[in-house]
């Protein structure tokens, strides 16, 4: 199982060979789960729109190509006459009238993050491509993961960030899916207006702040959080890999199979029934 994250240097090398279209102007990027979080991580490095209506380019990220919610938005974008770029391994998305970046399929989206994320970097901030690749370091990522695991044991992790909110969400997702363990994330400064009061009875929580400046440090001091300071995309690349290792380590301790999912597939079936 660890090899799925240890192999990321190979996956990034593979992703770096992909041809990507030239993208300019206002961009709306979206997807669900382990696919869509690539957009949210990218938003720290490129000003992505939150509303598709004003976009020059719409980027859809769906590893399977069959994510219902993503397909619905692509169809709306098509009707609106938007230019659409899709990052996918195939599925229904690859059959639609979009510009396709086809990646290798066969794994869970969360394990294939490099194949989904690097094309975004190459399209939107190509000068950062090599920094992303250099950030991958299995030994250092394991060390960071081990330190976090020691602190998390018996507590529920809550990840906070402002600029790097996508990274906080990624940690939460990895722990939820691989370890089948509760984890949450929150956005700074919003949490300073509500959530921090919950720590009066929050002894069972383990807060982590991904800090990019003084505002994040304020939140960290108020909830007595572990602070991880980030100076750029290279740090983010390492920490994304660390999140994978951390979640697998925690899964082992809990006796869970990181690859097995039960509630998520069942949820998909129930959603499909709503639309049928």
Q: How many CB atoms lie within 10 A of CB 78?
A: 14
Domains 3-126 and 138-254 share a fold: yes
Alpha carbons within 13 angstroms on the beta-carbon side of residue 91 total 21
Please state, in angstroms and rounded to a whole number, the distance separating the CA atoms of residues 14 and 233. 19
- Which of 45-67 are b and which e, b meaning 16 or more Cβ less than 10 Å from the residue's Cβ? bbebbeebeebebbbbbbbbbbb
Fold of the 138-254 domain: Rossmann fold (3.40.50)
Q: What CATH architecture does domain 3-126 belong to?
A: 3-Layer(aba) Sandwich (3.40)
| Residue 1: pLDDT band with limits 50, 70, 90 | low
177 is catalytic: yes
Of 40, 177, 195, 234, the active-site residue reads 177
193 is catalytic: yes
Of 193, 252, 253, 273, the active-site residue reads 193
| pLDDT (tens digit per residue) in 217-273 | 999 999 999 999 999 999 999 999 999 999 999 999 999 999 887 877 777 777 777
Which three-class secondary structure state does DSSP give residue 52? helix
What residue segments make up the domains of the chain, in order of their start? 3-126, 138-254
| pLDDT (tens digit per residue) in 120-175 | 999 999 999 999 999 999 999 999 999 999 999 999 999 999 999 999 999 999 99
72 is catalytic: no
């Amino acid at each position: 199982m660890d090899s799925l994250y240890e192999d990321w240097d190979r996956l990034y090398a593979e992703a770096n060979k992909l041809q990507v279209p030239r993208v300019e102007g206002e961009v709306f990027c979206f997807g669900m789960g382990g696919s869509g979080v690539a957009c949210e991580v990218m938003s720290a490095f490129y000003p992505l729109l939150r509303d598709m209506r004003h976009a020059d380019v719409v980027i859809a990220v769906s590893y399977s190509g069959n994510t219902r919610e993503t397909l619905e938005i692509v169809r709306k974008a098509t009707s609106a006459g938007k230019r659409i770029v899709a990052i996918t391994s195939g599925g229904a998305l690859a059959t639609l009238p979009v510009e396709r970046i086809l990646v290798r399929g066969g794994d869970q989206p969360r394990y294939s993050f490099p194949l989904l994320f690097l094309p975004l970097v190459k399209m939107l901030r190509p000068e950062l491509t090599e920094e992303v690749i250099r950030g991958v370091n299995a030994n250092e990522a394991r060390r960071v993961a081990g330190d976090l695991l020691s602190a998390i044991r018996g507590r529920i992790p809550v990840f906070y960030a402002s600029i790097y909110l996508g990274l906080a969400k990624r940690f939460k997702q990895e722990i939820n899916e691989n370890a089948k363990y509760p984890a949450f994330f929150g956005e700074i400064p919003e949490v300073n207006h509500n959530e921090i009061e919950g720590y009066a009875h929050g002894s069972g929580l383990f807060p982590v702040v991904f800090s990019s400046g003084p505002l994040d440090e304020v939140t960290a001091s108020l909830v007595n959080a572990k602070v991880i300071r980030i100076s750029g995309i290279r740090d983010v690349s390492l920490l994304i890999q660390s999140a994978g290792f951390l979640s697998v380590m925690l899964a082992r301790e809990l006796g869970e199979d990181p690859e097995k999912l039960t509630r998520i597939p069942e949820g998909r079936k129930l959603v499909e029934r709503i639309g049928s």
